[in-house]
A and B are shown apart, each in its own frame.
Chain A
């Protein structure tokens, strides 16, 4: 098992009700796997929200295998101005 720290912003924070969550995932789990878990945990509140992914404070555009201790953020676009 690996431990992953999820940092929550904007709609993700409001959908999950927390700033940060530690997930325990199977070895070999990826950012896409974590996104599916997060969306399920949000119980539909993120259905219409596109999420960009940052791994260890760096934007990534492709599904990436996670390692123990990684920090992930799913960043929604926001539009207020």
Chain B
């Protein structure tokens, strides 16, 4: 069983009777003391002798979860996110334990999670790419998400657009998606725009936004995104699909090459997913790659796809990266 920092604080405030055990090695306890908690320091092999409810604490909440499972410890709770999440909760009453599996990563940490939670992302197109990117970003704790699409849910969408269900057919995609995303996490502020992107509404859709995810299904919308991205100096995370193949790239940041430079001609670009067909798993992969590139931009993580075009062949599981 686990307990969040927020719930543990309630137990303390309500004077609940339980034993708090710090299972960490002494040097780690010294290096990273736990704030405002008095714990008994006890070696793991003697924990099962303690009667009543126990809360086990380690640095990130992973060791204690394993300890409870492996030793079949009864009435025992692992503090989710460990000392890292608890200390952060004490500092500013912000319970980040939900994201403890990513804050444990050195590349993210508590500071990175806070950046993610302040970041504002727009997703144009709530089809296969958009549903996947939005789901992952909301789960990751993104601060604000603008979702833009004027379409309604169709039966043929359901094999790849997993925010929608059969009962949603005929409903506005953004309304259904907003509700589904809010069910994943209430931490993200979701603004829905029930319109297709055009020249006149683009500026309002991208107001107070840090980056744009291009999850559209047509070249004209991509050209509009590219232009606004350049005008407003917002990175454009491009994604597109053809049958079993996907393209991903990060345009208009550092590199001068954007969509218009990569595909400069008066292009037709082949068929849409409706015309050419697409395997249902592919938008999930490519949409998640776009979401991950968004996180990398927010955290300034390298390597990334800035100024590159990645082409993924899902049949052969091969990738090609082109420098732009």
Contact of A52 among B128, B262, B272, B283 (CB under 8 A): B262
Inter-chain contact A81/B269, CB cutoff 8 Å? no
Across the two chains, which residue of chain B brings its CB closest to A10? B242
* Minimal beta-carbon separation of B266 from chain A (angstroms): 8
User: Does A79 lie at the interface of the complex (its beta carbon under 8 Å from any beta carbon of B)?
Assistant: yes
> For chain B, which range describes its interface: under 10, 10 to 19, 20 to 34, or 35 or more residues?
35 or more
Inter-chain contact A77/B322, CB cutoff 8 Å? no
Inter-chain contact B283/A77, CB cutoff 8 Å? no
Assuming the contacts A81-B125, A81-B240, asked whether A50 and B269 have C-beta atoms less than 8 A apart, the reply is yes
| Residues of chain B in range 206-257 having any CB-CB distance to chain A below 8 Å | 214-219, 222, 239-243, 245, 247, 257
A54 to B128, CA, bound (A): 28
User: Does A3 lie at the interface of the complex (its beta carbon under 8 Å from any beta carbon of B)?
Assistant: no
Across the two chains, which residue of chain B brings its CB closest to A47? B268
* Minimal beta-carbon separation of B163 from chain A (angstroms): 14
Which residues of A are found within 8 Å of B129, using beta-carbon distances?
81
Assuming the contacts A19-B316, A57-B320, A78-B270, asked whether A50 and B265 have C-beta atoms less than 8 A apart, the reply is yes
Binary per-residue interface labels of chain A (47-76) against chain B in the complex, 1 for a CB within 8 Å, 0 otherwise: 011101010011101000000000001011
* Minimal beta-carbon separation of B194 from chain A (angstroms): 18
Which residues of A are found within 8 Å of B278, using beta-carbon distances?
80
| Residues of chain A in range 2-59 having any CB-CB distance to chain B below 8 Å | 7, 9-11, 13-14, 19, 48-50, 52, 54, 57-59
Inter-chain contact B128/A81, CB cutoff 8 Å? yes
User: Does B273 lie at the interface of the complex (its beta carbon under 8 Å from any beta carbon of A)?
Assistant: yes
Across the two chains, which residue of chain B brings its CB closest to A48? B268
Assuming the contacts A59-B262, A80-B241, asked whether A50 and B267 have C-beta atoms less than 8 A apart, the reply is yes
Which residues of B are found within 8 Å of A58, using beta-carbon distances?
322-323
Across the two chains, which residue of chain A brings its CB closest to B219? A79
Assuming the contacts A81-B125, A81-B128, asked whether A75 and B322 have C-beta atoms less than 8 A apart, the reply is yes
Contact of A80 among B264, B273, B320 (CB under 8 A): B273
Which residues of A are found within 8 Å of B269, using beta-carbon distances?
49-50, 76-79
Inter-chain contact B245/A78, CB cutoff 8 Å? yes
Which residues of A are found within 8 Å of B83, using beta-carbon distances?
none
A27 to B261, CA, bound (A): 29
Inter-chain contact A59/B257, CB cutoff 8 Å? yes
A70 to B262, CA, bound (A): 21
Inter-chain contact B265/A73, CB cutoff 8 Å? no
Inter-chain contact B245/A57, CB cutoff 8 Å? no
Contact of B283 among A10, A50, A76, A81 (CB under 8 A): A81
Assuming the contacts A49-B269, A49-B270, asked whether A73 and B322 have C-beta atoms less than 8 A apart, the reply is yes
User: Does B311 lie at the interface of the complex (its beta carbon under 8 Å from any beta carbon of A)?
Assistant: yes
Assuming the contacts A78-B247, A81-B127, asked whether A11 and B270 have C-beta atoms less than 8 A apart, the reply is yes
Binding site for A on B (CB under 8 A): 125, 127-130, 214-219, 222, 239-243, 245, 247, 257, 261-273, 276, 278, 283, 309, 311, 313, 316, 320-324
Can you name 16 extra interface pairs (CB under 8 A) apart from A11-B270, A59-B257, A80-B241? Answer: A10-B242, A10-B245, A49-B268, A50-B268, A52-B263, A52-B264, A57-B320, A58-B322, A76-B269, A77-B262, A79-B269, A80-B242, A81-B128, A81-B129, A81-B214, A81-B216
